[in-house]
Amino acid sequence: MRVDGKPLRTIWPAADESRVTIIDQTRLPHEFVICELATLGDFEVAIREMKVRGAPLIGVTAAYGLAIALRDDPSDTGLAAASARLLATRPTAVNLAWALDVMRADLFGLPIAERAAAAFAKAGELADLDVAICDAIGANGLALIAKIAQRKGRVSILTHCNAGWLCAVDWGTATAPIYKAQEAGIDLHVYVDETRPRNQGASLTAWELGQQGVSHQVIVDNAGGHIMQHGGVDLVIVGTDRTTATGDVCNKIGTYLKALAAKDNGVPFYVAAPSSSIDFAIFDGVRDIPIEERSAREVTHMRGRTDDGRLETVRIVPEGSRVANPAFDVTPARLVSGLITERGIIPARREALATAFPERLVLV
């Protein structure tokens, strides 16, 4: 994808492998700031404080974090301790555990002296793999959009949160089909849910769609149902932080309500689901996926730029009101029209997932 017309990934390593550069996503859309992560602590803070966020990018960042940690302590104990610290940063997106598992499986068998260099190379492979997976999701989702375009001309898509370029290494998951459709010359319009409380839609998705020149409108979280009732949405595409072996989809809080509205209005509801976001050990998403509870301050306060250019944070909730802030919810498989994976669009069903990814099945 492009920022100010220049191609850019969301994470890239220094040539001497001493550090990794990221875009600080907490500063967007007001400021484009890059920052360097050079210690295990830097990586923990970046993931926990959501300088990097979005399931695929969290996984790749953790892989690089492990590689950096192994330069100081490549022993078995060092490997286990650094993985545990990274794993503890955020609980819901399974890509974190997936990436750390892949890294550990590769590294444990290696001589200790070779581990740090091998880990850096492997993290780079995972970054490249993420790009390839999102590229394939884009190609598969393009077919879906192209079919609607044939029938209707302009295609209107609603998306929630940021499952865009910024949530992955390149392309994004839910946005990959949108960017591919744009390249194919399809006339598109995207409704972007603002996605309270952190506003990933308003701040991140709108910013990146703007950078790529995709027609879009930001809507408040509660507007989607109304727009669907009036025929304004042809297709919903969202991302996922963890999809179960049975096709239940955990994603940013509010996704479930969009799926219900889509069902009621006969709007197809698709989930862009890279295999790195599928948890083949969980079968009931509502019961078993750990949902991150984030700080009350995300709800009580809002940050923005004043008309005279100052960045300010203001309180919008009365002092003394208590707050609940679950960051994700689960959309049951029955509400999902299909999963756009790197291996094709498949039903959100256990048999379909098992057939598409037989090498990932776990014994229960």
The catalytic position among 42, 193, 234, 241 is 241
The alpha helices in the chain, defined as continuous H runs, are: 40-48, 55-72, 76-87, 95-107, 115-152, 175-183, 200, 206-212, 224-229, 255-264, 285-288, 297-300, 350-356
200 vs 300, which CB is nearer to ligand MRU?
200
Burial of 301 (C-beta count, 10 Å sphere; 0-12/13-18/19+): middle
Binding status of residue 89 toward ligand MRU by CB under 6 A: no
Where b means 16+ CB within 10 Å and e means fewer, 210-230 reads: ebbebebebbebebbbebbee
254 is in an annotated binding site: no
155 vs 204, which CB is nearer to ligand MRU?
204
Give yes or no for a cis peptide into 7 (omega within 30° of 0): no
Report the SS3 class of residue 207: helix
- Closest approach, Cβ 321 to ligand MRU, in A, equals 23
63 vs 168, which CB is nearer to ligand MRU?
168
Binding status of residue 327 toward ligand MRU by CB under 6 A: yes
Q: What DSSP letter does each residue of 19-40 carry, written as one string?
A: -EEEE-TTSTTT---EEEE-SH
Stretch touching ligand MRU by CB under 6 A, among 14-22, 38-46, 161-169, 306-314: 161-169
Binding status of residue 271 toward ligand MRU by CB under 6 A: no
Cα–Cα distance between 310 and 123 in angstroms, integer?
Answer: 38
Count of residues touching ligand MRU (by CB under 6 A) = 17
- Closest approach, Cβ 330 to ligand MRU, in A, equals 12
**Closest chain position to ligand MRU (CB):** 239
Binding status of residue 336 toward ligand MRU by CB under 6 A: no
Find how far residue 323's CA is from the centre of its chain: 25
Binding status of residue 251 toward ligand MRU by CB under 6 A: yes
Q: Pick from 173, 276, 337, 341 the residue near ligand MRU by CB under 6 A.
A: 173
Binding status of residue 93 toward ligand MRU by CB under 6 A: yes
Q: Pick from 149, 163, 176, 330 the residue near ligand MRU by CB under 6 A.
A: 163
Binding status of residue 252 toward ligand MRU by CB under 6 A: yes
56 vs 338, which CB is nearer to ligand MRU?
56
Find how far residue 28's CA is from the centre of its chain: 16
- Closest approach, Cβ 359 to ligand MRU, in A, equals 21
Is the Cβ–Cβ distance between 38 and 68 less than 8 Å?
yes
70 vs 250, which CB is nearer to ligand MRU?
250
266 is in an annotated binding site: no
Report the candidate in 211, 278, 176 with the shortest Cα–Cα distance to residue 23: 211
Stretch touching ligand MRU by CB under 6 A, among 3-11, 141-149, 237-245, 351-359: 237-245
Long-range contacts of 307-312 (CB under 8 A, 24+ apart): 311/30
Report the candidate in 255, 162, 139 with the shortest Cα–Cα distance to residue 216: 162
The tokens of 205 are what?
Answer: 């998705």
Binding status of residue 141 toward ligand MRU by CB under 6 A: no
Report the candidate in 340, 364, 363, 76 with the shortest Cα–Cα distance to residue 353: 340
* Summary count for the chain: helices (H), strands (E): 13, 18
Binding status of residue 161 toward ligand MRU by CB under 6 A: yes
Is 73 a residue of the active site?
Answer: no
- Catalytic residue list: 241
**Residues making up the binding site for substrate:** 53-55, 90, 200, 251-252
Contacts with ligand MRU, residue ranges (CB under 6 A): 53-56, 93, 161, 163, 167-168, 173, 200, 239-241, 251-252, 327
**Residues making up the binding site:** 53-55, 90, 200, 251-252
